[in-house]
Amino acid sequence: MSQQYPVLIVIVPLLSAFAISIAGWVNKRLCFPIIVTALGVAVYASVGLLLTVLEKGVVIYHLGGWPPPVGIAYYVDHLNGLVLVVVSLVALLNVIACKKSIELEFPDKAAPFYTLYILMVTGLLGIVVTGDAFNLYVLLEIAALTGYGLLAMGEERAPLSTLNYLYMGTIGACFYLLGVGYLYIVTGSLNMVDIARLLPPLYQSKAVLAAFIICMVGVWLKMAFFPLHAWLPNAYTHAPSAASSLIAPLVTKVMVYVMIRLILTVFTPEFAFATLALNNVVVWLAVIAIVMGAILALAERNLKKMLTFIIVAEVGYMVGGAWLGNRAGMTGAILHIVNDALMTLCVFLVVGNIVYKVKGYAFEDLQGLFRKMPFTMGAFVVGAMSIIGVPPTCGFFSKWYLILGALQAGHYGFVAALIFSSLVSVVLFFRIFEICYYEPFSDHHGHDHPPEPMDEAPLLMVVPLLIVAVILILVGLYTGDIVNHVIKFAIPEGLV
């Protein structure tokens, strides 16, 4: 059984998508148990897989028994073992937390929503688990197409924002495909490990250089790296809250994983950092991404849109950290994939709860929320602290590694950008705390009117949110173990 974990992670959610769409015809109440079971199996299998990897090293699974390079291989090492656990866990917690809001927002469309949801998770898990460059493209498109469907189910402007995302997303995926094509011309292989084995004599070839740059641009488009970020804020803001709290934490992070996988495994750090000498340029781009993300977030008067600009800044952290070209920076980037997925989930679930109760997420709607929804806002404080980077929440530790890496690389611009963005986050979040503490302005002064009663979101929404908040602190406290037992082995020896 445990040898089959890599394929179970993809197959179980994929088949349950069919089961859910059939169950939608028979009895709508069956959909939710099926999706929770399927995601539970995925979480179980990915945790089991991570433990196997920690114990025995890299797991390679040959689909259908065909050995690579002819067949498709699933390749799981410490890097994607960790990301798999994060992706499946975030998807599971989010679907439980969003059950009520899904029922509220689209009562007759719950079954199609769950079907798209689980297909999207299938795509994301597949991207992470696969060891085949073309297979990755197909799964990328599965995740993207279902994502468009989920995002477009939102409010009035959602279809237009989603269509803009669709243009950009398609260009991104096509660029990646083109890059893989160039790699195929020079190596004749699509298996990532096999390509890495064949590439070293070809490092001087212009085709390899073109492949690398085209792949990178494609992936940057998909992850909304600064100059290519224009699609993200609107698409995520107008989406239904259940969809944005799945897509916002996972899609950009999975794309960062793809970038790191391409750098570490396919092209190897020697090529990406030493032969190419592009580090400085990309890190400066990341600096601009962080600064612009922070400034644009500051300009927003709308909680959800503000958070989407924070995602743009966070992508800058991860890209910059990965491209610093040293071990500490890469550790910070990988750790930040985990942390950022969890803290983005936390704050977007809070937005979901607020929308469920208050029906809005503009700053004016937030007044008096600390009294009304104390548990939700408590979790929001933890998530905000983590994004700012206050110890012992996990956000502090990844920022620590990123700054350490930047100092080692002598890149003070990146250090300055990280500190600047942390300071801006302080302003952003304390402004919201302030608004949420004060009661709505009332017309009759002097009269004591009874304070608004507590009106918390349902238990099914609050409990998963509190679990996420606790996980944020736990991951922070156990950062040392994650780095020493998992991430240390995810980065090749050659990278110092």
Partner 1 sequence: MSELIPTIIAKYNYWIYITLMMIGLYAMIAKNNLVKKIVGMNIFQTAIILFYVSIGVKKGATIPISTGGHGAAHEVVHAADYLNPLPHVLMLTAIVVGVATLGVALALALRIYSRYNTLEEDEILAQIRKK
Nearest to partner 1 of 106, 433 (CB atom): 106
- Contact by Cβ (8 Å): 209, 201: no
Segment contacting partner 1 by CB under 8 A, of 167-175, 294-302, 336-344, 407-415: 167-175
User: Is 63 among the residues that bind partner 1 (CB under 8 A)?
Assistant: no
Round to whole Å and give the CA distance between 382 and 410: 32
Round to whole Å and give the CA distance between 225 and 219: 9
Minimal distance, residue 161 CB to partner 1, in Å: 10
**Site for partner 1 (CB under 8 A): which residue of 2, 26, 33, 160?**
160
In 3D space, the residue among 139, 124, 32 whose CA is nearest the CA of residue 85 turns out to be 124
Nearest to partner 1 of 47, 163 (CB atom): 163
Segment contacting partner 1 by CB under 8 A, of 25-33, 141-149, 274-282, 294-302: 141-149
User: Is 134 among the residues that bind partner 1 (CB under 8 A)?
Assistant: yes
**Site for partner 1 (CB under 8 A): which residue of 162, 191, 326, 331?**
162
| φ, ψ for residue 106, nearest 5 deg | -135, 85
Round to whole Å and give the CA distance between 184 and 193: 13
Minimal distance, residue 259 CB to partner 1, in Å: 20
User: Is 131 among the residues that bind partner 1 (CB under 8 A)?
Assistant: no
Nearest to partner 1 of 26, 185 (CB atom): 185
- Contact by Cβ (8 Å): 98, 64: no
In 3D space, the residue among 286, 200, 213, 241 whose CA is nearest the CA of residue 101 turns out to be 241
User: Is 209 among the residues that bind partner 1 (CB under 8 A)?
Assistant: no
User: Is 119 among the residues that bind partner 1 (CB under 8 A)?
Assistant: no
User: Is 141 among the residues that bind partner 1 (CB under 8 A)?
Assistant: yes
User: Is 138 among the residues that bind partner 1 (CB under 8 A)?
Assistant: yes
Minimal distance, residue 66 CB to partner 1, in Å: 13
Nearest to partner 1 of 47, 138 (CB atom): 138
**Site for partner 1 (CB under 8 A): which residue of 24, 81, 149, 464?**
149
**Site for partner 1 (CB under 8 A): which residue of 51, 60, 174, 466?**
174
User: Is 181 among the residues that bind partner 1 (CB under 8 A)?
Assistant: yes
User: Is 68 among the residues that bind partner 1 (CB under 8 A)?
Assistant: no
Nearest to partner 1 of 181, 391 (CB atom): 181
**Site for partner 1 (CB under 8 A): which residue of 15, 185, 274, 477?**
185
Round to whole Å and give the CA distance between 205 and 158: 44
Q: Pull the structure tokens for residue 203.
A: 């490092």
Segment contacting partner 1 by CB under 8 A, of 38-46, 166-174, 414-422, 456-464: 166-174
Segment contacting partner 1 by CB under 8 A, of 28-36, 177-185, 299-307, 376-384: 177-185
Segment contacting partner 1 by CB under 8 A, of 29-37, 120-128, 154-162, 484-492: 154-162
User: Is 291 among the residues that bind partner 1 (CB under 8 A)?
Assistant: no
In 3D space, the residue among 307, 261, 272, 254 whose CA is nearest the CA of residue 133 turns out to be 261
Minimal distance, residue 171 CB to partner 1, in Å: 7
Round to whole Å and give the CA distance between 94 and 460: 11
Segment contacting partner 1 by CB under 8 A, of 4-12, 148-156, 318-326, 413-421: 148-156
User: Is 198 among the residues that bind partner 1 (CB under 8 A)?
Assistant: no
User: Is 483 among the residues that bind partner 1 (CB under 8 A)?
Assistant: no
User: Is 466 among the residues that bind partner 1 (CB under 8 A)?
Assistant: no
Nearest to partner 1 of 167, 438 (CB atom): 167
Nearest to partner 1 of 101, 162 (CB atom): 162
Q: Pull the structure tokens for residue 493.
A: 């020896």
Nearest to partner 1 of 364, 434 (CB atom): 364
- Contact by Cβ (8 Å): 371, 451: yes
Segment contacting partner 1 by CB under 8 A, of 39-47, 136-144, 329-337, 352-360: 136-144
Partner residues linked to 76 by β-bridges = 59
How many residues touch partner 1 (CB under 8 A)? 24
**Site for partner 1 (CB under 8 A): which residue of 21, 170, 205, 275?**
170
User: Is 163 among the residues that bind partner 1 (CB under 8 A)?
Assistant: yes
**Site for partner 1 (CB under 8 A): which residue of 30, 51, 171, 467?**
171
Which residues in 340-349 are b (16+ Cβ under 10 Å) and which e?
bbbbbbbbbb
Residue bearing tokens 């302080």: 426
Q: Which residues bind partner 1 (CB under 8 A)?
A: 134, 137-138, 141, 145, 148-149, 152, 156-157, 159-160, 162-163, 166-167, 170-171, 174, 177-178, 181, 184-185
